[in-house]
Amino acid sequence: MFKGQPKGLFALALANTGERFGYYTMIAVFALFLRANFGLSAGTAGTIYSSFLMLVYFFPLIGGIMADKFGFGKMVTSGIMIMFAGYLLLSIPLGGGTVALVAMLAALLLIGFGTGLFKGNLQVMVGDLYNDPQYAAKRDSGFSLFYMAINIGALFAPTAAIKIREWAMTLGFDGNAAYHFSFAVACVSLIASIAIYYAFRSWFKHVEGGHAKGDKAQIVDTLTPEQTKKRMVALFLVFAVVIFFWMSFHQNGLTLTYFADEFTERSASGIASMPFNVFNLVAVIAIVFALFSIFDKDATQKGKWIGVGVVALACAYLVWQYTRLSGSIEISAPIFQHFNPFYVVALTPVSMAIFGALAKKGKEPSAPRKIAYGMLVAAVAFGLMAFASIGLNTPAYQATVRGGVEETLVSPYWLITVYLILTFGELLLSPMGISFVSKVAPPKYKGMMMGMWFVATALGNFLVQVGGHLWGPLPLWVVWSVFLGVCVISAVFMFAMMKKLEAATE
């Protein structure tokens, strides 16, 4: 899985892991913070939340255009510095008045712009590592590993956000002020990110682009105008589809978090409580990776025995954790957000093994076909949510009976299962989409096209607010059916355009 990959991949992936840890620590509690600190309605909080996500994914277009002129490396380092300023401002507790609101909006603007300079350009650099013929066949698997690294940072973020907020409250800070300590974690993570970037810069400096005086990077483009047009059309067709995937998928930070907070049982005991401890999930990940090393036909005997040892230790740890269980634990809504990155990390080797085996037989689906399958899988997830919500109160009514006998709650395993299915869809769509853009984009527009991928994501994130506005008097199954419908329609469109999409890669 890790063999044959360029060294620069691991350095860039680790730099991104640090940045993503800070971002997801903030995002895990951000929607709840907006409602608690400023007293906003679900719809208004959803508008701010989705607008921020839109900024985060819109600014990579500007960052990509600037990088095409000045180089990717300069934009990445500038982005980290700007993000740091934004997170620092956001971490200052200013109360819930007008000044605090203006300061928060300014912080969000800085974070969005800094992320725009950092995120897309770092991924272009990863893609350019595979322009070397010796690595070209590893492009999809490389982006899968890169995506996995992002989610390692995201895996620990919800637990960090909750624990840091609880720690702040034990120091005497009120609940709202304590949120800011979670935001401050991002500042620390960015320091780690820039340190990793410069410590291993020699591994990827050749793909930073640009010249010392800021001249436009030297670009070799051998495509004909017809080939360029064909590729651009294919890219924009993909961009159109992914808008609706992210509109649906990023409900995890909005309506799915509302559902966790308002409609999901708030405690768990016995073995049912174990998935809510992030270190138990890490043990499961260790088991998955160790099993792959044991059954890897290319692994050395020593490597296989190390794998056996890791499995034994991880299983022993889980048994020890089980024997220590007593009573029940409180389930906090943000903790559900660690399941998606857990599944990404745990399932990436499974996904790579499946597609690797198909590739050897010449049957691996194309990247556009994987994206279409991802939309169908996302539709299944929201179909399950609609089924789980039949008979539940509307959110508006639930708010009036919270804590009473008329409150309707469901098992947390509904959400845990939905996150599993959504992750299957994400693994089919997101890393494959980024890989597709890095491969198909005409060289002279590579930064811009990676930026357009994020613009499509931005538009999808802006539409996330639809869920917030639906959250109220409507039956929950209707809310989830909206996202079910857009995913199905998008998948049908993707399959209808498949010949054009696949032709662009030829």
State pLDDT tens for residues 376-427.
Answer: 999 999 999 999 999 999 999 999 998 888 999 999 999 999 999 999 999 8
Q: Give the dihedral of Cα atoms 105, 110, 115, 118; nearest 10 deg.
A: 180
Residue carrying structure tokens 């539409």: 463
Residue 470 has pLDDT above 50, yes or no: yes
By DSSP bridging, strand 267-269 and strand 328-330 are antiparallel
Other C-beta atoms lying within 10 Å of the C-beta of residue 302: 8
Confidence label for 327 from pLDDT (cuts 50, 70 and 90): confident
Contact 351, 1 (CB under 8 A): no
DSSP 291-306: HHHHH-TTS-HHHHHH
Residue 51 has pLDDT above 70, yes or no: yes
CA-CA distance, 484 to 381, in Å (whole number)? 8
For 187, which DSSP code? Answer: H
Average pLDDT over residues 170-199: 87
Q: What's the pLDDT tens digit per position in 143-170?
A: 888 888 888 888 888 888 888 888 888 8
Q: Does 300 or 105 have the greater pLDDT score?
A: 105
Those residues with Cβ within 8 angstroms of residue 444's Cβ, 6 or more apart along the chain or in another chain: 68, 219, 221
Which CA distances in Å does 25 have to 30, 168, 176, 335, 447? 9, 15, 16, 11, 28
Check whether 216 has a pLDDT greater than 70. no
Average pLDDT over residues 93-112: 91
Q: State the Cα–Cα distance between residues 419 and 415, nearest whole angstrom.
A: 6
Predicted TM-score (pTM) of the model is: 0.79
Residue 506: pLDDT band by 50, 70, 90 thresholds? low
Q: Note the pLDDT tens digit of each residue in 250-303.
A: 898 889 999 999 999 999 999 999 999 999 999 999 999 999 888 887 778 888
What tokens were used for 118?
Answer: 């950092």
Residue 158 CA to chain centroid, in angstroms?
A: 13
CA distance 480 to 486: 10
- Burial profile 382-405: b = 16 or more Cβ within 10 angstroms, e = fewer: bbbbbebbeebbbbeebeeeeeee
Both tokens of 221, joined, read 């483009």
Asked if pLDDT for residue 497 goes beyond 60, the answer is yes
pLDDT attached to residue 453: 85
